[in-house]
Amino acid sequence: MMPLDTVKKCGTALNRRKAVQASLSALKSAGVEGIMVDVWWGIAESDGPGAYNFAGYGELMEMARKAGLKVQAVMSFHQCGGNVGDSVTIPLPRWAVEEMEKDNDLCYTDQWGRRNFEYVSLGCDAMPILKGRTPVECYTDFMRAFRDHFADYLSNTIVEIQVGMGPAGELRYPSYPGTPYPESNGTWRFPGIGAFQCNDRYMLSSLKAAAEAAGKPEWGHGGPTDAGSYNNWPEDTLFFRRENGGWSTEYGDFFLSWYSQMLLEHGDRILTGASSVFSSSPVEVSVKVAGIHWHYGTRSHAPELTAGYYNTRHRDGYLPIARLLVRHGAVLNFTCVEMRDHEQPQDAQCMPEALVRQVGAAGVGLAGENALPRYDGAAHDQVVATAAERADAMDRMVAFTYLRMGADLFHPDNWRRFAAFVRRMGGDGSTCREAAEREASGVAQATGSLVHEAAVALRS
């Protein structure tokens, strides 16, 4: 992954061009196949509706092509800033934010009336609320403009389009918001259960209709009122508790089915747009799903439920997502592949390894990412083991994207370990870490001056 601010906010050029040039050469020398870059809606369509500026991204694509690297381009329709690892702030396009400020119900809203400006609420996907266009039309038009602008790079350089579908680019609700609300500094802290986001008037209108269709109009006035708050744990609440929790009642099933179905339909609408744009282009289309591993060992899986994944001890919430992606021929990009259970807080019943196994068995092409920056051998071992474990499976791991290219990666010890990791991932997983690191010492030595140049330029 390239730095979040690879392209200047004006969109016309690269930040730290010299560092990018040196970095790409070093990555290629280490055996890396390609780079991932966020193509920010808030940068490339900031001047006005339909006024696209891909100049800075064009410079990067050309540099990647000359370096012999592939590109995974992320259509980032969310705000950057406030989430873990966000080092810069890139809001949505000003003209879109203006509409959200005029009508706050275009924002995801919790039961306390807090509004989230990170991503336009999926409740108004089909409403022409953004200067006469629907959000889905805006996303589809953006992807079409990107395709047309980079037609000469598709398949030979740009090999994958990851389609953003929510906060942090993930298909989910902003149930655990990293971006602080105006009146509250840091709403959520790990490992809180998060909160349902269904109280804007568009979502409430859909909920009301669903409740009436189910013959239970009293269920249509909002989400559960006994589901606690962002930083509660499941047993703190009546809705998520282990014994006789509301999640396991008829009402709970109705609400969670509706809430998760709304998310699936959102994904379907955007993937339909993406398919219409890229169906004739030889590029892979992918979707990112969040690795919500905390409280996974509980019965209710509360943090997954508030995020829109109806996954409990007795129900697989990832199969419907996998089926959606298979129907559109898309790959599932999944995070937290580097994590091991014993590294996480045990009292929060974090089980990233079990979660990765569950999602990996969902029957869709799986691509991995690490959720947090890790440069140590133990994290590398975990990724290699997960990839090797799936090597012979029908649904093997088809790609891995490493977070993130930056000054820390180019620290000499980190770089040597990373070069060894790349060699192991490119093989059959049988090469031990120590042997790969010995082999990688030559790469580290050969790229020393490039790496030093990149590290200095990135820190400046």
Q: Which segments are annotated as binding site for substrate?
A: 38, 78, 86, 288, 293, 335, 370-371, 404
Alpha-carbon distance of 256 to 228, in angstroms, equals: 16
Alpha-carbon distance of 106 to 137, in angstroms, equals: 15
Choose among 18, 136, 163, 16: nearest CA to 88. 16
Contact 284, 150 (CB under 8 A): no
59 is catalytic: no
- In DSSP notation, 223-281 reads S-SSS--TT--GGGSTTT-TTT-GGGSHHHHHHHHHHHHHHHHHHHHHHHHHHHHHTTS
Cis-peptide into 191, omega within 30 deg: yes
Catalytic option among 170, 284, 338, 453: 170
Pairing of strands 158-163, 70-76: parallel
**Beta strands across the sheet bearing 284-289:** 34-40, 70-76, 158-163, 284-289, 331-334, 366-369, 397-401
The residue behind tokens 């937290």 is 336
Bridge partners of 401?
Answer: 369
The four Cα atoms 255, 294, 307, 76 give a dihedral, to 10 degrees, of -170
Greatest Cα pair distance, the chain, in angstroms, is 70
Continuous H helices in 68-126:
94-102
Alpha-carbon distance of 171 to 185, in angstroms, equals: 25
Catalytic option among 284, 369, 437, 453: 369
Cis-peptide into 327, omega within 30 deg: no
369 is catalytic: yes
- Mutual orientation of helices 17-29 and 55-67 as an angle, nearest 10°? 30
Summarize the annotated binding site as residue ranges. Answer: 38, 78, 86, 288, 293, 335, 370-371, 404
Dig out the tokens for 7 from the structure: 């392209």
Contact 413, 421 (CB under 8 A): no
Contact 421, 383 (CB under 8 A): yes
Alpha-carbon distance of 434 to 440, in angstroms, equals: 10
- Residues marked active site are found at 170, 369
